[in-house]
Every structure is written in structure tokens, then in C-alpha cells.
């Protein structure tokens, strides 16, 4: 394949879970623009209808499915529906997720189960369901959506950080397990992007200024900042990349801003 065609997804089918809103739709749009047909899932697939129509207007084939990643029967039913469609799913974007934002001392058993069952257990069993078909065909791209919390911890996000850290470790395990079948497994880890889950935080101008000051690129992420990364991980351009976590976070995970401040503070102390 010529280098200029490395990012062409024409003839491939991508499933994006949690595609009723937010980053899931941006991932799906980027893949569709690169040529992929789509299978879009949500707990209530009728919510995806307007977006599915938009994707069909790009000339893509689009199927919508009901999928609750917390429910075993729902995942099994999805697997059967994909088989019935008759085609192979080459690309999976494991995007469905949720969050409970509470101080650790207030997190309930139910809070923990909701977040871990959705973000971690659900991602594993959805990937397993589709990887069976990928293994039979000797090809697949699994993209698990993680977060900057896959590598850094934040107060008030205990279950979420645990689930996203787990996604990073799961990605490495599956990459080792499924590489023999021609399946790559990688984690795409966004930094701070405004979504439905955190919109209320972005209504606090002081918090936004604090956040942007900590990001080396001095702004929060825009959804289309993720387009290149998801297409890269879905395409032949990443054919020798597996088990990796690709952070798209403006540099906040480097800790560079904090370290610079500490260095300046140290110099001042030495001067005194």
C-alpha cells in the first residue's frame, strides 16, 4: 500500500459504542470521512437517528444498534446482530462510558459498580465479542477510549480513574493476547475536553483559567483534535503499533507546568 493511502478506510466497517452524543460522534465522523462504514450503538438507538442520517449523507452505510454495555445479554445480542449483517467489523472504538464525580468518602457500592461495569467490564466484553470475528479474518483494530486519568489521578474521580487505569492495562494485555490474530489493540486517551459529563465544570470561568494554565498548549481540547489520532489507530498507518496509550491532552500529563512553577519557587527560596 502506498504511503499516501495509509489513512484510507474505504471498504472497512467501524463500530463506535456510545455514539448518541459527545466524543463518540466525533470519532464516528472522523472515521466516516476517512471512508469507513459505520455501526453505531447506544442504549437507545433511536437517539442516534439524526446523526446516522448525517453520516449517510456522506455516502456511508450506517447501521444503528441498541447496546447496553453493562448487560451481558445486550452484548451477546449485539454479537449475533453483527453476525447477521454478514460483514466483518474491522474497527472497534470502545467509547461507551460514564462517570460519578464524588469525594472518595462518599462513593457508594452502586457508584463503583456503575462506573467499573460500564467503562471497564463493558469494554472488555464488547471487544471480546467482536474480536472473535476479527480473529477469524486475521485482521482487526481495537481502540479503547481511555483518559488522561489512565496515567494520572484526580480527587473526586476514584472509580473513574480506576476504570481508565484499568483500560490502559487491559489494552496491553489484549494486545499481547490478540496480536497473533492480526489484531492491534491501543488506547486513545483524551485529556480535558468539554463533554456532557463535565459540562458543568466548564461553566466555572475561574476553573477553566486554572485548567488552561496547567496545560502546556494553554487551552482545553477541541473534539476535532482527536480526529487524526483515531484515524491513525484505525488505519494501516498504525499497523506496527499495539498495546500503546496515545495521550491527546495538550501536554497536561507531562506535569511540565507544575514542575516549572516548583523550579521557580525553589529559585526564589534559594535567593532569599
10 Å CB burial of residue 63 (0-12, 13-18, 19+) is: middle
Average pLDDT of 45-51? 91
For 181, the domain range is: 3-271
- Tell me, what's the pLDDT at 7? 96
- Cα 73 to Cα 204: distance, rounded to the nearest angstrom: 41
Q: Which three cell numbers stand for residue 177?
A: 493476547
Contact 125, 98 (CB under 8 A): no
One DSSP character per residue, 183-202 reads: EEEEEEEE-SB--TTTHHHH
Compute the Cα dihedral for 109, 112, 116, 122 and give only its sign: positive
Phi, psi of 55 (to 5 degrees): -70, -35
Residue of 26, 139, 154, 160 marked active site: 160
pLDDT given for residue 272 in this prediction: 35
Average confidence score pLDDT of the chain: 90
pLDDT over 80 (residue 131): yes
d(CA 178, CA 171): 10
270 pLDDT exceeds 80?
Answer: no
Q: Looking at the predicted structure, is the pLDDT value of residue 198 above 80?
A: no
C-alpha cell at 81: 446482530
Quote the pLDDT of residue 257: 53
Per-residue pLDDT averaged across 233-252, rounded?
A: 96
The total number of structural domains that make up the chain: 1
CATH of the domain at 142: 3.40.50.720
Report whether pLDDT(192) > 50. Answer: yes
H or E element at residue 5 = none
In the predicted model, is pLDDT for residue 268 greater than 50? Answer: no
160 is catalytic: yes
- Band (pLDDT 50/70/90 cuts) for residue 109 is very high
Reported confidence tier of residue 5, pLDDT bands at 50, 70, 90: confident
Amino acid at each position: 500500500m502506498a504511503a499516501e493511502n495509509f489513512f484510507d478506510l474505504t471498504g472497512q466497517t467501524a463500530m463506535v459504542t456510545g455514539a448518541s452524543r459527545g466524543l463518540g460522534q466525533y470519532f464516528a465522523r472522523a472515521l466516516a470521512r476517512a471512508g469507513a462504514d459505520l455501526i453505531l450503538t447506544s442504549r437507545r438507538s433511536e437517539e442516534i437517528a439524526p446523526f446516522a442520517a448525517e453520516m449517510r449523507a456522506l455516502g456511508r452505510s450506517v447501521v444503528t444498534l441498541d447496546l447496553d454495555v453493562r448487560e451481558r445479554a445486550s452484548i451477546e445480542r449485539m454479537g449475533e446482530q453483527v453476525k447477521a449483517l454478514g460483514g466483518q467489523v474491522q474497527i472497534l472504538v470502545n467509547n461507551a462510558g460514564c462517570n460519578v464525580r464524588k469525594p472518595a468518602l462518599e462513593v457508594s457500592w452502586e457508584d463503583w459498580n456503575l462506573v467499573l461495569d460500564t467503562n471497564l467490564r463493558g469494554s472488555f466484553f464488547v471487544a471480546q465479542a467482536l474480536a472473535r470475528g476479527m480473529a477469524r479474518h486475521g485482521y482487526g483494530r481495537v481502540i479503547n477510549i481511555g483518559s488522561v486519568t489512565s496515567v494520572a489521578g484526580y480527587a473526586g474521580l476514584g472509580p473513574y480513574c480506576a476504570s481508565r487505569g484499568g483500560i490502559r492495562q487491559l489494552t496491553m494485555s489484549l494486545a499481547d493476547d490478540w496480536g497473533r490474530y492480526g489484531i492491534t489493540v491501543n488506547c486513545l486517551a483524551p485529556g480535558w475536553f468539554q463533554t456532557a459529563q463535565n459540562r458543568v465544570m466548564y461553566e466555572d470561568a475561574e476553573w477553566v483559567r486554572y485548567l488552561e494554565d496547567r496545560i502546556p498548549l494553554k487551552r482545553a481540547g477541541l473534539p476535532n483534535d482527536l480526529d487524526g489520532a483515531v484515524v491513525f489507530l484505525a488505519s494501516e498507518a498504525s499497523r506496527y503499533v499495539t498495546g500503546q496509550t496515545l495521550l491527546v491532552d495538550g501536554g497536561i500529563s507531562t506535569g511540565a507546568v507544575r514542575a516549572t512553577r516548583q523550579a521557580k519557587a525553589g529559585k526564589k527560596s534559594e535567593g532569599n
